[in-house]
Structure 1
């Protein structure tokens, strides 16, 4: 008779996310995140770091606008799908992929835009540390755009889950205001459709931080 070992270790973050991606042919819609689109649609393209790129919906859109994209995810499957989707969209030459467990390693270089769209995990994850490191990886004048879930979806079973406010997220980064300027700290609403066709309004936290120029 097999008995459960109560000391059994939970899966590693890499194994967790690999299983999530490998379990389905497609996890995400493929559409770019709307706050990202609204924020940078008219910005002159440069270099961008896409943290937690998923299957590349944001990366492909950014590359189509002329950005040179470094796509980062902990899942090798996610990176492969991002690169495949970029190639299929004709922008493969402007998208490169790097696999990182951001709790351990971070991409080299400096960037004009760093996008952290829903960079949240059900596993232990040093998120504030990662986002603070991202702020330090901006070029002078560069923008860090963070978008988080501000509340549970109307159809969620987890309405009692605590979601930090945009102000709390910003303050948790503890960035020197002489070097970084908060351009936006607040919330945005958008219409969305749930997994079973439910419709409702989602609340996103939006934190946009500009690194001051030299």
Structure 2
């Protein structure tokens, strides 16, 4: 899935399945597609969390999963692309944290990892076309949060500044829309953050841009 850390030329979807699209996206380059760094919102929102079990949905090349593993988390990292999971696993080996990450391939609209997690993270879980049931996936993500655990959902608030007409078929909900779509029981969850934020992102040829994204952070209450 997208991670939004660095983007180049837009690919044409041309009716491919999500798996075909992302395998082609990652398989078209022998170099990293993204920066390899963890997402800034994960660092900001996750640095003070006690390490436990984490689920990284749409892990891409593994920057977030590797960052979590280095901090002592046991991570289940999931993506639809087998191509990118192989690349991420190699990066984890190089980082010395391969034993702390379980890489799993899932089309999240069809199958979902088993278990409960102290942190469930979904960063930029967007995909072109209409095949990915994002709201259904995020509800499953909420169900996977253990009592006392955190659900962190980060998404784009709009298209990239260098491609304002990019992927018009992809709906980019506000953080409040994401929260409402989860349909969480009010007495079972506490909203920690629900807002837009700005960050710097490298566009084509490394040119810096300011981009607006949104973040939703909620904690499942004990009991």
TM-score when scaled to structure 2? Answer: 0.88
User: 1:198 and 1:82 mapped to 2: Cα distance?
Assistant: 26
Determine whether 1:153 maps to 2:160.
yes
Which position in structure 1 is the counterpart of 2:5? none
Runs of 4+ with >6 A deviation: none
User: 2:50 and 2:167 mapped to 1: Cα distance?
Assistant: 41
RMSD of aligned alpha carbons: 1.6
Which position in structure 2 is the counterpart of 1:61? 67
Q: Do 2:121 and 2:153's aligned partners in 1 also have CA atoms closer than 8 Å?
A: yes
Larger RCO (CA within 8 A; separation ≥ 6)? 2
Q: Do 1:153 and 1:201's aligned partners in 2 also have CA atoms closer than 8 Å?
A: no
Determine whether 1:178 maps to 2:187.
yes
Work out which of the two has the higher radius of gyration on C-alpha atoms and give 1 or 2. Answer: 1
User: 2:152 and 2:101 mapped to 1: Cα distance?
Assistant: 19
Which position in structure 2 is the counterpart of 1:3? none
- Give CA-to-partner distance per residue, 1:70-127, whole Å, 9 cap, x none: 0100111111111111110011110111110001000000000001000111122110
Select 2:142's aligned residue among 115, 127, 135: 135
Q: Do 2:151 and 2:219's aligned partners in 1 also have CA atoms closer than 8 Å?
A: yes
Count of residue correspondences: 206
What SS does structure 2 have at the residue aligned with 1:55?
A: coil
Which position in structure 1 is the counterpart of 2:27? 22
What SS does structure 2 have at the residue aligned with 1:129?
A: helix
Q: 1:190-209, aligned counterparts within 5 Å?
A: 190-209=199-218
User: Alpha-carbon deviation of 1:159?
Assistant: 7.1
TM-score when scaled to structure 1? Answer: 0.91
User: 1:200 and 1:75 mapped to 2: Cα distance?
Assistant: 28
What SS does structure 1 have at the residue aligned with 2:187?
A: coil
Gaps of 5+ in 1: 1-8
User: 2:206 and 2:105 mapped to 1: Cα distance?
Assistant: 33
User: 1:180 and 1:131 mapped to 2: Cα distance?
Assistant: 15
Select 2:76's aligned residue among 70, 78, 91: 70
User: Alpha-carbon deviation of 1:51?
Assistant: 0.2
Gaps of 5+ in 2: 1-13
